[in-house]
Amino acid sequence: MADSGSEDIAVIGNTDLTPSESENNLKNTMVEKGTSLLKKMEISVAEAEKRTGKNAVNMQETYTVYLIETRPVDAASEETNPVPDSLWRRYSEFELLRNYLLVTYPFAVVPPLPEKRAEFVWHKLSADNMDPDFVERRRVGLENFLLRVASHPALSSDKIFYLFLTEENGWKETVFETGFQAKADSRLKALNATFRVKNPDKRFVEMKHYGDELQSVISQLLRVRARAADRLYGVYKVHGNYGRVFSEWSAIEKEMGDGLQSAGHHMDAYAASVDDILEEEEHYADQLKEYLFYSDALRTVCRKHELTQYELEMAVQDLTSKKQQREELATGTIRTFSLKGMTSKLFGQETPEQREAKLKMLETQIEEGEELVKERNSECDEFVKSAWVDIERFKEQKDHDLRESLISYAIMQISMCKKGIQVWNNAKECFNKM
Amino acid sequence: MSASVVDNTVSSGNSSVAIPTDISGQILDLDEDDELEVFSKDTSTTQTDGSSFNASMQTSPASMINQYKFEEEEEDADTKDIFVTVDNPESHVTAIETYITYRVETKTTRSEFDSSEFEVRRRYQDFLWLKGRLEEAHPTLIVHPLPEKFVMKGMVERFNEDFIETRRRALHKFLNKIAEHPIFSSSEDFKIFLTAGSGELTSHKKQGPGFLSRMGETVKAVAAAVRGVRNRPQEFTDMQEYAEAFSQKISSLDKVTQRIVREQKEYLEELKECGPTYALWSQSEQELAEPLKNVAGCVDNCCKETEEQVKHLNDHLIPVLHEYVLCADTLKMRDELDKAEDRLEWANNALKTDWTRWQKVMRTDLRSAFIDTAERNVSYYEKCLAVWESFLQSQRTDAEGNGNVDSS
């Protein structure tokens, strides 16, 4: 394309940062702030492949596997570039890893996986999981997930995570051997139940609301953006019709022919340019989506706090009632209604021996109860402490990342405008020749 | 969501997703290019005294035909001696009807006008009348089209502001095209249209077909008398073929442009929701509140620019394309000519010269309309570019202010 327009628009700083570059920046940040794992090891999800095999119910299925490559950090700086260690994993294994981390580190805001099924699609974008573009974006998302875990202060030193990266065979069995599933089931049930907490930590209540708001607003933004992208696609593509008609028209004109024909080519180029533009924007959408899913992880942590707080409160409540029962039994006054109390009133008091036995039992229970309360209290305290640390870490990360995303979005818009200026200036030159 | 972005009536099975790089298959296979050589600048002189056509001259039909004199091909802008404007629409209510009149202002140095400035009020009917008269008087020449009588699409009221404005612009162009035409501008009917009071105009209209149309009929009579030609002149055929093809192309362009406007409007509707969403988000954030609000502002600004751009397309490119769609219809209808006119008429070149002139004017009009559109698009992108660059600037300043090292 003839470059006719002069670029007299001031370029402020590095406005030509591509989205992949800004993603690299993200990774570099993670490495710089580095955990000990990342200091030792380079991690990447290099490729994706289709496989077919028999599934659990002996049916033929097609699925995608992803190649995880790890390489010692020092090796990269040497002259020789050794072949990295690598293994293949499928999405369900990533899910298993994440579930394990969720249960094992309840206080952590666990990084999310890329979406299982394509959501927020717009017309051109395929909703098919086998679509190569979807697979590619998922590959990037999975790599991101691994890097996030690897840069998390607590999660990065997990053994199962390390094995996920290095041991292809038998990893699944190892995970199941940890018995995390049992904990998972009970925790899950508890999390899904509704319960009222009397005294939750206010900060966690606020965080939960924030998580709700974040999820709602990012969903809305993704929806609106997808619709706008669809429309923008239409605008650009219709200009392709100009190209065709100009070309046909140029054939019947003598003097205008050349000008029309070349203008037509520019219109075709304009129409074609939207594909790249929107592909770049999908990267931006993916960055937003990560934080959409992160909001869920945040809410989960807050919910877990509520759960531990609730369990503490239950234990305290139980202890209090037991203590009360002991008092009543000791003093003979009945303050609380109980069927036993009524029946003993009606049918006569218990024998002193019976009372003695009961008191003893209560004492034991109270002792145990006090232990439990102590336990739960410290559990709660610990949870609040470590969870709040991770939440603060998450907040900082989120603020930094999203700001970078907004900047990269602005850069994309600028790039789109520059292309538009160039095309229309070129078209104008051609029209001049008409 | 739109399933296809190609208007089926425009395309011939062409998919919008795959832009064909080889369009040779779609180029009309015409040998006409050679024939079109005929339409180069051709100033054949007349056979009589060559005096310019004047309504007051009474001459025989034969000599009248010969008196289509050919002015210089070039319309020299510097020698423009008449300026006409159409503005100031006003509505009038009577017992029977409501209608709109437009102010028609004329400034001229021409001697045949009694004064140098005129101001009259005319309604659409009057313009129709003028056009009719010109067509009658000069059946072989191309009269620029008028905006349509009724607009069928949607439920556009006749008295809707946009409709009136669009019509006013078209009427203005119509009169200016007449004024720029070497032959039409000296028409007596034109002069009366520009200068007569409403009473005078009405009585002039009542004069019946008038001298001019009588002249037109005489031309037809003469032509009939000399008939004997069986075949159309090749040039005429070529012209009509061109007219047909041109009509198709210009209609396509009109449709494509209207489609673009529709898509832009729908894009705008969606974009309008983006800014407020960013603003809503900023309310939940602390550190991020400022950049989010900033982005919201940028998106809103881009919305405004998009709105302006759509309006410009609507107000400038579309009317011009539409005019030429109507023009093309006029051209096509000249097939009728063939029955009435003949080689004699043709030989006098009235048609040919006017045709050449029309093509030049068409070229100029369409070229400047497209250039205008291209410039507007450039300006649109430049403005949006500035919006986003100022956002970037603010973010960098912020980063430096906070002492952060920006990772970009």
Q: Does B407 touch chain A (CB under 8 A)?
A: yes
Residue B30 has pLDDT above 90, yes or no: no
A388: confidence class by pLDDT, cuts 50, 70, 90:
very high
Q: Which two tokens stand for residue A307?
A: 């759960």
pTM here is 0.77
Q: What pLDDT, on a 0 to 100 scale, did the predictor assign at position B138?
A: 83
CB within 8 A of A56, min separation 6: which ones? none
Q: What pLDDT, on a 0 to 100 scale, did the predictor assign at position B10?
A: 39
Q: What pLDDT, on a 0 to 100 scale, did the predictor assign at position A137?
A: 87
> How far is it, in rounded angstroms, from Cα A303 to Cα A166?
33
Give the residue-averaged pLDDT of A412-427: 96
* CB pair distance less than 8 Å for B408 and A221: no
A383: confidence class by pLDDT, cuts 50, 70, 90:
very high
Residue B35 has pLDDT above 70, yes or no: no
CB within 8 A of B154, min separation 6: which ones? none
Q: What pLDDT, on a 0 to 100 scale, did the predictor assign at position B198?
A: 78
Residues of A in contact with B391 (CB under 8 A): 410
Give the residue-averaged pLDDT of A269-285: 93
* CB pair distance less than 8 Å for B252 and A263: no
Higher pLDDT, A191 or A59: A59
Residue B42 has pLDDT above 50, yes or no: no
pLDDT digits (tens, 9 = 90+) for B140-162: 788 888 887 665 555 455 567 77
* CB pair distance less than 8 Å for A228 and B10: no
In percent, the amount of chain A with pLDDT more than 70 equals: 82
* CB pair distance less than 8 Å for B371 and A428: yes
Residue B5 has pLDDT above 80, yes or no: no
> Which of A228, A166, A249 minimizes the C-alpha distance to A413?
A228
* CB pair distance less than 8 Å for A417 and B6: no
DSSP code of residue B313: I
Mutation site for B-interface testing, chosen from A11, A237, A416 by largest number of B Cβ within 10 Å? A237
Residues of A in contact with B271 (CB under 8 A): 228, 231
> How far is it, in rounded angstroms, from Cα A396 to Cα A399?
5
B175: confidence class by pLDDT, cuts 50, 70, 90:
very high
Give the HSE-up count for residue A15: Cα atoms under 13 Å, Cβ half-sphere: 22
* CB pair distance less than 8 Å for A407 and B395: yes
Q: What pLDDT, on a 0 to 100 scale, did the predictor assign at position A58?
A: 83
Residue B29 has pLDDT above 70, yes or no: no
Q: Does B49 touch chain A (CB under 8 A)?
A: no
Question: Between B256, B284, B393, which is nearest A242 by CB?
Answer: B256
Q: What pLDDT, on a 0 to 100 scale, did the predictor assign at position A417?
A: 96
Q: How far is A197 from chain B (nearest CA, A)?
A: 24
Give the residue-averaged pLDDT of A154-169: 92
Q: What pLDDT, on a 0 to 100 scale, did the predictor assign at position B147?
A: 82
Question: Between A244, A399, A434, which is nearest B26 by CB?
Answer: A244
Residue B269 has pLDDT above 50, yes or no: yes
* CB pair distance less than 8 Å for A252 and B28: yes
Q: What pLDDT, on a 0 to 100 scale, did the predictor assign at position B9?
A: 39
* CB pair distance less than 8 Å for A432 and B367: yes
pLDDT digits (tens, 9 = 90+) for B207-231: 655 554 455 555 555 555 444 444 5
Q: How far is B79 from chain A (nearest CA, A)?
A: 25
Residue of chain B nearest A227, judged by CA positions: B270
Residue A379 has pLDDT above 60, yes or no: yes
Q: What pLDDT, on a 0 to 100 scale, did the predictor assign at position B85?
A: 92
> How far is it, in rounded angstroms, from Cα B246 to Cα B225?
33
Q: Which two tokens stand for residue A227?
A: 């619709």
Residue B58 has pLDDT above 60, yes or no: no
pLDDT digits (tens, 9 = 90+) for B230-257: 455 677 778 888 889 999 999 999 999 9
Residue B399 has pLDDT above 90, yes or no: no
Give the residue-averaged pLDDT of A121-150: 82
* CB pair distance less than 8 Å for A239 and B260: yes
With residues binned 3-state (H G I as helix, E B as strand, rest as coil), the percentages for chain B, rounded to 5, are 60, 5, 30
Range among A356-360, B21-25, B234-238 rated most confident: A356-360
- Which H or E element spans position A46? strand A41-54
Least confident of A3-17, B14-28, B29-43: B29-43
A246: confidence class by pLDDT, cuts 50, 70, 90:
very high
In percent, the amount of chain A with pLDDT more than 90 equals: 53
* CB pair distance less than 8 Å for B392 and A251: no
Residue of chain A nearest B268, judged by CA positions: A228
Question: Between B10, B246, B267, which is nearest A252 by CB?
Answer: B246
- B248 in Cβ contact with B45 (< 8 Å): no
Residue B64 has pLDDT above 60, yes or no: no
Q: What pLDDT, on a 0 to 100 scale, did the predictor assign at position B24?
A: 41
Range among A309-313, A349-353, B198-202 rated most confident: A309-313
Range among A1-10, A249-258, A346-355 rated most confident: A249-258
- A64 in Cβ contact with A130 (< 8 Å): yes
Residue B139 has pLDDT above 50, yes or no: yes
* CB pair distance less than 8 Å for A234 and B371: no
Least confident of A26-40, A131-145, B321-335: A26-40
Residues of B in contact with A410 (CB under 8 A): 295, 298, 388, 391-392, 395
* CB pair distance less than 8 Å for A245 and B260: no
> How far is it, in rounded angstroms, from Cα A4 to Cα A423?
9
Using CA of residue B194, residue B199, residue B200, residue B205, what is the dihedral sign? positive
Residues 319-378 of B with CB under 8 A from A: 363, 366-367, 370-371, 374-375, 377-378
Average pLDDT across chain B, whole number: 75
Burial annotation A351-361 (CB, 10 A radius, 16+ → b, else e): eeeeeeeeeee
* CB pair distance less than 8 Å for B284 and A214: yes
Residue B74 has pLDDT above 70, yes or no: no
Give the residue-averaged pLDDT of B5-32: 38
Higher pLDDT, A84 or A190: A84
> How far is it, in rounded angstroms, from Cα B364 to Cα B344?
31
Mutation site for B-interface testing, chosen from A232, A295, A424 by largest number of B Cβ within 10 Å? A424
Mutation site for B-interface testing, chosen from A224, A284, A298, A401 by largest number of B Cβ within 10 Å? A224
Higher pLDDT, A10 or A373: A373
